[in-house]
Structure formats: structure tokens, C-alpha cells
């Protein structure tokens, strides 16, 4: 497909300019086109087969009143069909959202990742269209820059695959039914790392806000929308009016970053309040709908500096001195709950487990969904399963595997390992070294100290826990599990410390080399129940940590193992 088939025309978004449409060119009245209406702050992206009629509809609609007298760009291409135009519309919505130049005014009403004839070639044209929009100064960042940005990663404007689309549809229906029947609902989203669980939570938050804002009398909804039934059936969208919505994010640094992202999103009159678990517990309000990302990181009881606050929250909500979990706070203060929960991504004994959720089966109507489609790693589900089997004493792959489009490599030399990650950072960005917590964090108090030394090569742990990946020194530092969980990296360079060793055909936890005191600390409930953490428990926890780190990779994973025997074992597979 020629890159010269498209053109981008300029118009004013006012009645006089719209009246002149279709007088000289039939494409303005009877052809699939994609348009952007914008002012200095806001933008709306749309698709239509009749530009003149669509613009008259927009001008008559108060929903677009802030854009009147603004500008309009329209993409014309005589090779476009309806499928290509819809795909370009969703493509531009995603990338304008990730670009950050404008606040995007579009609803989250059902973009879906549909295939169609010759899509790969159309997609090449889309990138050229984006580059032309940058030349016209209505977009700032390159596609590569946006793909590497957290604004894009956590944006609620994402194309859903059909698996995700079905889950979102059923969850909205669950909540609607619960509201109608005056009951409580619990929806649980599980799945391997990289299957898009967080995407669903962000998407749901925006969709619920859009349902609250929709005006049945004056607003319109595209018939192509996957969720048009929720907007068009008044008895459904009315159920979501004036509902209080909370979004709980257990990682403190990520919680702050998501707040900033939602500040750049048009939520209309709806309010989505974003909390850490402790902030949620301290809040005086209860909520109609609570969405929880990474719920496997919620904790059961806390000692130390937070212990007093936790006990105060327990007393405030329950009026007793029993040990409660952060999940208990959420369930007590919410009517409808959506949890992202994956038992395989729990990283501490103090994190909640499946039993903590199961006890709410009677009080809440519970439904569970398991996502299977791999969206992060180019190695696909095949790579995720392969890593799980390698880092296991129960399953071992029968032979070495390779993965199309994904690089998996093990190094004998730590200098070569570090240099390889540095080259990938220069080439692709978002390439970082990470490690198991097998070295003390000396540089936390002494900034001049080094933490990790291997064969004369010295490294420091992450100098910040707040958005470490995006910090200025991160490419020269080593991140721990607590800084990267939930994030994507193009290349992951993982150092496996001597907390994991290989002897006599088995993977073994080496307690002497473990520097993560929190990983070996029992929760308050475990202490109260007299539960002891065994070597097998710690082995599974360390294996889980290394699997999670390896599953952060999009394009490739580089591995250096400190234990010689472990390195030789891994060479069988990489």
C-alpha cells in the first residue's frame, strides 16, 4: 500500500465551514474518514462515512460545545474501507491519549482489536499519518516515545482483545444486576503476567465514568460501539448515575502515577477517587463500586510504623481488636468490588491469599475470570509457561526453546551482561537491570556506597522507589521486585543472586544470601496462628519473585546467575 494514498485537510469547526462541505468533493459526504476536532486544550477523534452530516450533529450537540470555533483535521484516503477507518480512529485515540498534548474527550465505549483484510499494511500508513500530524504540530511525541511512556501503558484508551471485551461486558452486567437486586457483587480477574488485567481495571474506571456522564436526551453514541447497549438502554445507564467509585492501588508510587494520568483524562462530572489501601481505610466514605488493581499485594496486618494506623482503621471499621486485612476494609466499605488477583504474583507472606477472598462468597455474588491471551511478552504464553517450568522443581521443559521475535539469553560474564543491557537501552529504551533481593541496601543511607559486587563490577540498588524506571539514574542501577511489579520493560537484565542455588538436580533457597527481611517475616495473622515459614515456603516465594521479574520483558530477557551450578542448569534452556 502506497504511503501517498492519504491526505490531511484543514477545516474550521463552525457552521459556515460545515455548510461548504461536499460542494466540490464527494469524499466529504460519502466515504469513510477520520477526523480530529480540537482547541488549545482538548481534542475529540471520530470516524464517519458522511462528514457533513456528522459535523452538523456535533455542532448541534452541547457535548462538543467547548470545541466550537476550534480547528478540525480530516484524514482522507481513497483506499480506506469502514474497518480501516474504525481502526485508525481507535489508533489515534490511543496515541493522542499517550501523547499528552491534549485532554482526550472521547468516551471509552468499546474499542476492540479487530482484524480485517490487509490490516498490516494499513497500520504502516497509520504511523505515517501520525508522523504527518506531528509535522502539523497537533501531536508532539513519536510512536516509540509514546509506547515507552507510562501515560500510554496505564491509559484507559486501549483496544481490548475479545477476551478482555467479554470480561468487561460481564463485569458491567454483574454490577448492573447487583444494583437492580440490591445485592453485592464481587468480580475477580486472574491471569498470567502480561495478560492485560490492569488494562481492564483502567478501562472499567473510564467506562463507568462515561456511563455516569451520558445524557440519553442529548448525547449520541456510535452504533459501532461494543458497549452501545449500556448507553442506549436507559434502565442500564441510569443505574450507574451518581454512583461513588474508588480505585485502590496497593503500590504507593504507582498510586501517585495513576492519579496524575487520570488528571489528564476527561471524566466529565464523574469522580473517581484513587487511594492506597491505607488511604482507603482512613477515608470516611463508603463506595458503590471499588476497583482494586494488583489485589495480591494487599496485606494482612502490618507491624512497625504503620501498625498503629492499621489498628486505628480496624477499630474504626470493625470496632474490635481482631486482625483484619486490607481486603477486609475494602469489602466492608464497598457494595460492588472488582479485584485483579493472581496468587502467582504474591511476593510476601503478609500478602492476602485466595482464602481471604473465598470467605466473602456468601455475602457477595462472586464471579471469576481468567485471562489467557499474552499481551506483553513477544514470546507469548509459550515463554511465560517456559519460565514457570524452568523455575520449578516439579516441571522441567524437555528441550531448549526459542521464541520468534523474543530474545532470551544467558551470560557467563557480568560485564558483558551489563554492556548488553546498556546497548538495548540505547537502542530501544526501557531496558533495565533487576535482581533478586540477595544483597543489603547499603546505599539507602549512604548514597556513595555500592550494594552489589560481582567479579569486581559494582552496582547500586534503585535510588528511589517512586517511579524508579522513569528516574534519571535507573539505567545504571539495579531494581528490586518492589520497584518493577506491574511495569513493562523492553529488555529485562535479571541478576539471580545466591538466594537461589542449584544442587543435585534441585533448585534450593539459600537463606544465608537472602537480604529481604520482609520476605521472611510472618504476617500478624500467621504469628497469631503459630504458623512458621518453612524453607519450601521461602523457595516458592523466591521462585515466584524471579518469575515475576522475567515476565516484565516485552522484547527480551538477559540472565546472569551468581551460582555456578545454577548458571550451568539454566544454560540447558537459554
| Chain segment 63-90, per-residue pLDDT in tens | 788 898 899 999 999 999 999 998 999 9
Q: How far apart are CA 353 and CA 344, in angstroms?
A: 10
Contacts of 435 (CB under 8 A, 6+ apart): 452, 478, 479, 480, 494, 495, 496, 497, 549
Show contacts of 532-535: CB within 8 Å, 24+ apart. 533/349, 535/509, 535/511
Q: What percent of the chain has pLDDT over 90?
A: 61
- Enter the C-alpha cell of residue 364: 457477595
Residue 429 has a pLDDT of 93
Task: Return the exposure string of 465-474: e unless at least 16 CB atoms fall within 10 Å of the residue's CB, then b.
Answer: bebbbebeeb
Q: How many Cβ atoms from other residues are within 10 Å of residue 162's Cβ?
A: 12
All three cell numbers of 474, joined, read 535507573
Give the CA distances from residue 152 to residues 60, 98, 264, 291, in Å, rounded to whole numbers and listed in that order.
Answer: 32, 4, 12, 20
Asked if residue 341 lies in contact with residue 162, where contact means CB atoms within 8 angstroms, the answer is no
Question: Side by side, which strands form the sheet with 334-340?
Answer: 272-275, 245-248, 287-292, 334-340, 185-191, 365-371
**What mean pLDDT comes out for the span 394-413?**
93
Instruction: Enter the C-alpha cell of residue 426.
Output: 540505547
Among the listed residues 346, 232, 335, 371, the one whose alpha carbon sits nearest the alpha carbon of residue 295:
346
157 vs 218: which has the higher pLDDT: 157
| 408 beta partners | 557
Q: What Å distances lie between residue 304 and 318, 498, 518, 523, CA to CA?
A: 21, 28, 11, 12
Say if 6-153 and 162-371 have the same CATH topology. no
Confidence class for position 382, pLDDT limits 50, 70, 90: very high
Long-range contacts of 303-307 (CB under 8 A, 24+ apart): 303/521, 303/524, 306/278
Residue 2 has pLDDT above 70, yes or no: no
Which candidate, 394, 438, 414, 387, places its Cα nearest to that of 542? Answer: 438
Which H/E stretch holds residue 508?
strand 506-509
What H or E segment, with its residue span, contains residue 387? helix 380-390
Q: What is the C-alpha to C-alpha distance for residues 176 and 158, in angstroms, rounded to an integer?
A: 23
Let me know: does 293 contact 312? Beta carbons within 8 Å.
Answer: no
Q: Are 94 and 158 in contact (CB under 8 A)?
A: yes
Determine what percent of the chain falls in helix, strand and coil, rounding each to the nearest 5.
Answer: 40, 20, 40
Average pLDDT over residues 4-9: 88
Q: How far is CA 398 from the centre of its chain?
A: 33
Residue 566's pLDDT band (cuts 50, 70, 90): very high
**pLDDT value at position 467?**
85
Tens digits of residue pLDDT in 164-219: 989 999 999 999 999 999 999 999 999 988 899 999 999 999 989 888 877 655 55
Asked whether 185 and 337 are in contact (CB, 8 A), the reply is: yes
List beta partners, residue 10: 73
Mean pLDDT of 280-307: 88
pTM: 0.88
Query: What is the C-alpha separation between 270 and 256, in angstroms, rounded?
Result: 19
Nearest to 475 by CA among 455, 454, 456, 489: 489
User: What confidence category does residue 554 fall into, taking pLDDT thresholds of 50, 70 and 90?
Assistant: very high
Cα–Cα separations (whole angstroms), residue 547 to 193, 379, 456: 9, 14, 27
Which pLDDT does position 216 carry in this prediction? Answer: 57
The whole-angstrom separation of Cα 522 and Cα 508 is 20
- Domain positions in the chain are 6-153, 162-371, 380-571
b/e for 496-514, b at 16 or more Cβ within 10 A?
Answer: bbbbbbbeeeebbbbeebb
Gap between the Cα atoms of 162 and 166, Å rounded: 6
DSSP conformation class of 213 = H
Which band of pLDDT confidence, cut at 50, 70 and 90, is reported for residue 252? confident
For the domain made up of 380-571, give the CATH fold: Rossmann fold (3.40.50)
Question: What average pLDDT score do residues 128-138 get?
Answer: 96
Average pLDDT of every residue of the chain: 89
384 neighbors 192 (Cβ within 8 angstroms): yes
How crowded is residue 242: how many other Cβ atoms within 10 Å of its Cβ? 9
Q: Which CATH fold topology does 6-153 show?
A: GIY-YIG endonuclease (3.40.1440)
* Mean pLDDT on 423-431: 95
pLDDT of residue 22: 77
Confidence of residue 255 (pLDDT cuts 50, 70, 90): confident
Asked if 297 and 326 count as a contact pair (C-beta separation under 8 A), the reply is no
Rounded to whole angstroms, the Cα distance separating 110 from 123 reads 20
The predicted structure's pLDDT at residue 110: 56
- Distance (Å, rounded) from C-alpha 334 to C-alpha 281? 11
- Residues 337-352 have a mean pLDDT of 90
Tell me the fold of 162-371. Answer: Rossmann fold (3.40.50)
DSSP annotation of 204: H
Amino acid at each position: 500500500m502506497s504511503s501517498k494514498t492519504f491526505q490531511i485537510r484543514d477545516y474550521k469547526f463552525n457552521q459556515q465551514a460545515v455548510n461548504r462541505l461536499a460542494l466540490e468533493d464527494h469524499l466529504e459526504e460519502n466515504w469513510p474518514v477520520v477526523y480530529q476536532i480540537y482547541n488549545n486544550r482538548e481534542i475529540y477523534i471520530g470516524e464517519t462515512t458522511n462528514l457533513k452530516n456528522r459535523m452538523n450533529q456535533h455542532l448541534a450537540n452541547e457535548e462538543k460545545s467547548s470545541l466550537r470555533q476550534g480547528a478540525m483535521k480530516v484524514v482522507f484516503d481513497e483506499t480506506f474501507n469502514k474497518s480501516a477507518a474504525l481502526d485508525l480512529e481507535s489508533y489515534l485515540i490511543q496515541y493522542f491519549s499517550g501523547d499528552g498534548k491534549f485532554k482526550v474527550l472521547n468516551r471509552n465505549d468499546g474499542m476492540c482489536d479487530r482484524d480485517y483484510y490487509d490490516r498490516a499494511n494499513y497500520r504502516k500508513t497509520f504511523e505515517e499519518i501520525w508522523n504527518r500530524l506531528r509535522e502539523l504540530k497537533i501531536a508532539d511525541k513519536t510512536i516509540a516515545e509514546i509506547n515507552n511512556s507510562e501515560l500510554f501503558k496505564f491509559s484507559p484508551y486501549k483496544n481490548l482483545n475479545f477476551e478482555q471485551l467479554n470480561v468487561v461486558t460481564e463485569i458491567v452486567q454483574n454490577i448492573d444486576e447487583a444494583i437492580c437486586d440490591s445485592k453485592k457483587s464481587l468480580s475477580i480477574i486472574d491471569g498470567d503476567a502480561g495478560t492485560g488485567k490492569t488494562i481492564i481495571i483502567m478501562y472499567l474506571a473510564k467506562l463507568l465514568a462515561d456511563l455516569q456522564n451520558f445524557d440519553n436526551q442529548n448525547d449520541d453514541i456510535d452504533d459501532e460501539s461494543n458497549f452501545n447497549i449500556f448507553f442506549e438502554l436507559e434502565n442500564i445507564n441510569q443505574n450507574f448515575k451518581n454512583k461513588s467509585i474508588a480505585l485502590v492501588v496497593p503500590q504507593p508510587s504507582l498510586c501517585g502515577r495513576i492519579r496524575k494520568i487520570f488528571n489528564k483524562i476527561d471524566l466529565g462530572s464523574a469522580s473517581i477517587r484513587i487511594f492506597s489501601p491505607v488511604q482507603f481505610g482512613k477515608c470516611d466514605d463508603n463506595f458503590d463500586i471499588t476497583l482494586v488493581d494488583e489485589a495480591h499485594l494487599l496485606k494482612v496486618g502490618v507491624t512497625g510504623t504503620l501498625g498503629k494506623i492499621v489498628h486505628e482503621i480496624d477499630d474504626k471499621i470493625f470496632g474490635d481488636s481482631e486482625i483484619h486485612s486490607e481486603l477486609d476494609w475494602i469489602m466492608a466499605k464497598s457494595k460492588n468490588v472488582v479485584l485483579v488477583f493472581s496468587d502467582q504474583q504474591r511476593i510476601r507472606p503478609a500478602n492476602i491469599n485466595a482464602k481471604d477472598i473465598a470467605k466473602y462468597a456468601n455475602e457477595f455474588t462472586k464471579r471469576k475470570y481468567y485471562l489467557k491471551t499474552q499481551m506483553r511478552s513477544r514470546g507469548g504464553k509459550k515463554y511465560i509457561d517456559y519460565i514457570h517450568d524452568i523455575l520449578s522443581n516439579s516441571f522441567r521443559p524437555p528441550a531448549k526453546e526459542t521464541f520468534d521475535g523474543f530474545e532470551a539469553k544467558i551470560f557467563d560474564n557480568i560485564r558483558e551482561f551489563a554492556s548488553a543491557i546498556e546497548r538495548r537501552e540505547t537502542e530501544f529504551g526501557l531496558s533495565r537491570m533487576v535482581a533478586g533481593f540477595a544483597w543489603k541496601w547499603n546505599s539507602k543511607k549512604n548514597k556513595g556506597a555500592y550494594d552489589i559486587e560481582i567479579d569486581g563490577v559494582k552496582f547500586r540498588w534503585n535510588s528511589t522507589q517512586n517511579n524508579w524506571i522513569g528516574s534519571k539514574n535507573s539505567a545504571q542501577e539495579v531494581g528490586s521486585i518492589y520497584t518493577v511489579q506491574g511495569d513493562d520493560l523492553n529488555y529485562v537484565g535479571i541478576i539471580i543472586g545466591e538466594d537461589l542455588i542449584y544442587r543435585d538436580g534441585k533448585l534450593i533457597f539459600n537463606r544465608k544470601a537472602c537480604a529481604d527481611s520482609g520476605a521472611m517475616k510472618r504476617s500478624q495473622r500467621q504469628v497469631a496462628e503459630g504458623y512458621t515459614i518453612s524453607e519450601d515456603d521461602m523457595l516458592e516465594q523466591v521462585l515466584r519473585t524471579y518469575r515475576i521479574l522475567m515476565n516484565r520483558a516485552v522484547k527480551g530477557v538477559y540472565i546472569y546467575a551468581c551460582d555456578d551450578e545454577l548458571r550451568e542448569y539454566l544454560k540447558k534452556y537459554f
